[in-house]
Every structure is written in structure tokens, then in C-alpha cells.
């Protein structure tokens, strides 16, 4: 996986091309979410397989428009690290099951660090953690 391929992956995510997004994962991939900030009520979550990953984001994107922008990027044959500027624009109240108290009209902007274990040119293990919350007025998208 190189930077161009990863930017294509982000493009698929931002444009909700879920089938294309799933093609970047191994069949046995996992996505692990760390604590999303001090005091967060977001439960730690592990998704298993590309389909569960896609279904989670399809569900979330019924309530928010989520946009990723790549910051720092490091890759070798086994690992990929990405710093992602992430915006959530809520157009419907988000259910409590997502662990965020977001309401219609809310904007959340944060930096997330994501470590990907690679197997060939596919993502096998994804670990996501929240690094920093930004002022919503800094939203770019």
C-alpha cells in the first residue's frame, strides 16, 4: 500500500463507496477503537471483517456526514500510520448506542491516529484512537 492507494481509500470512505472500501481489507480484518477521549462515553469497540466495518459506517452515516483528511503518513511493508483530521457534521440526533451525545446541528472536529497492520497490500488490523479535539469553528468541510 502506498500513499496514492491510501488516498484512494480515503476517497472511497468520504464518498460512501462502501463496496470499494471493503476491498482494501483482508477477509479476517479487525478494526479496534480505543477510548475516544477523556470522559468519553464511547465504548471500546472491535469490528470483525469488512462487512461488519461497512455496516457500522453505513449505520453511523445515517446520522452524520464524516469527512477524513490525511495528515502525516508513514508506511512500510508491515505497517501504515495515518494521522486523520476528521469531521463529523450531525444532520440527525445520534443514537446513544454510538456512545456520542451528538445532536442535530453539532459539529465535532478531531485528530485521530490510526495504525494499520498490512498483509500484502490489504489492511488486516486497524487500531483507531482519538488524539485531539479541535474547535468546531475549525471545520473545513
* Residue ranges of domains in the chain: 3-138
Cα–Cα distance, 136 to 141 (Å, whole number): 11
Provide the mean pLDDT of the chain. 93
Q: How confident is the model at residue 41 (pLDDT cuts 50, 70, 90)?
A: low
Dihedral sign computed on CA atoms, order 134, 138, 139, 141: negative
What global pTM score does this model have? 0.91
Span 90-138, pLDDT tens digits: 999 999 888 788 999 999 999 999 999 999 999 999 999 989 999 999 9
Residue 45 has pLDDT above 90, yes or no: no
Cell numbers standing for residue 92? 440527525
Cβ-contact 64, 89 below 8 angstroms: yes
Which pLDDT score, from 0 to 100, does residue 101 have?
Answer: 82
Q: What number is the average pLDDT over the span 49-63?
A: 97
Residue 100 CA, chain-centre distance (Å), reads: 15
CATH top-level class of 3-138 = alpha beta
Say which residue, 37 or 132, is predicted with more confidence: 132
Amino acid at each position: 500500500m502506498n500513499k496514492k492507494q491510501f488516498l484512494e481509500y480515503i476517497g472511497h470512505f468520504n464518498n460512501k463507496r462502501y463496496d470499494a472500501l471493503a476491498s482494501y481489507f483482508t477477509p479476517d480484518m479487525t478494526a479496534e477503537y480505543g477510548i475516544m477521549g477523556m470522559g468519553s462515553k464511547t465504548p471500546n469497540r472491535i469490528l470483525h471483517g469488512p462487512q461488519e466495518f461497512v455496516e457500522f459506517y453505513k449505520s453511523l452515516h445515517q446520522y452524520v456526514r464524516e469527512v477524513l483528511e490525511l495528515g502525516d503518513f508513514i508506511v512500510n511493508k508491515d505497517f501504515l500510520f495515518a494521522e486523520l483530521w476528521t469531521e463529523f457534521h450531525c444532520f440527525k440526533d445520534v443514537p446513544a448506542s454510538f456512545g456520542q451525545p451528538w445532536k442535530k446541528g453539532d459539529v465535532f472536529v478531531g485528530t485521530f491516529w490510526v495504525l494499520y497492520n498490512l498483509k500484502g497490500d490489504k489492511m488486516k488490523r486497524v487500531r483507531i484512537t482519538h488524539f485531539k479535539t479541535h474547535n468546531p469553528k475549525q471545520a473545513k468541510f
